[in-house]
Homo-oligomer: A and B are copies of this chain.
Amino acid sequence: MSELTYPVGKLKDFACEIFRKIGCSDADASLATEVLLSADRRGIDSHGIARLSGYVRLWEAGRLNSTPNVRVVHETPSTAVVDGDRGLGLVVAPRAMEIAMEKAAAVGSGWVSVKNSNHFGIAGYHAMMALKSDMIGMAMTNASPLVAPTFSLDRLLGTNPIAVAVPAGEEPPFVADMATTTAANGKLEILQRVGKQAPKGWIQDKMGQPSTDPHELKNGGALVPLGSDYEHGSHKGYCLGAVVDIFSAVLSGANYGPWVPPFVAFLAPPADPVGEGIGHFVGAMRIDAFRPADEFKKNMDKWIRRFRSSTPVQGQKRVLIPGDPEREMEAHREQHGIPVNPKVLEDLRALASRFDVKNPVL
Contact = CB atoms under 8 A, between A and B. Distances in A.
Interface of A: 74-81, 107-109, 111, 113, 136, 148-154, 156, 164, 166, 174, 176, 178-183, 199, 201-202, 207-208, 226-228, 231-233, 235-240, 242-243, 245-247, 250-253, 256-258, 274-275, 285-287, 289-291, 295-296, 299-300, 302-303, 306-307, 310-314, 316, 318-320, 322
Point out which of A78, A150, A247 has the most chain B C-beta atoms below 10 A from its C-beta. A78
**Copies of this chain held together in the complex:** 2
Contact of A232 (B182, B235, B310): B182
B306 A258 contact: yes
Contacts of A245: 303
5 contacts: A79-B108, A109-B109, A151-B320, A166-B250, A226-B227
Contact of A236 (B75, B178, B296): B178
Given A81-B291, A303-B246, A310 B227 contact: no
Contact of A231 (B199, B208, B256, B322): B199
Q: A-side binding surface: helix, strand, loop or mixed?
A: mixed
Contacts of A239: 164, 176, 178, 322
Contacts of A237: 226
A332 B157 CA distance: 31
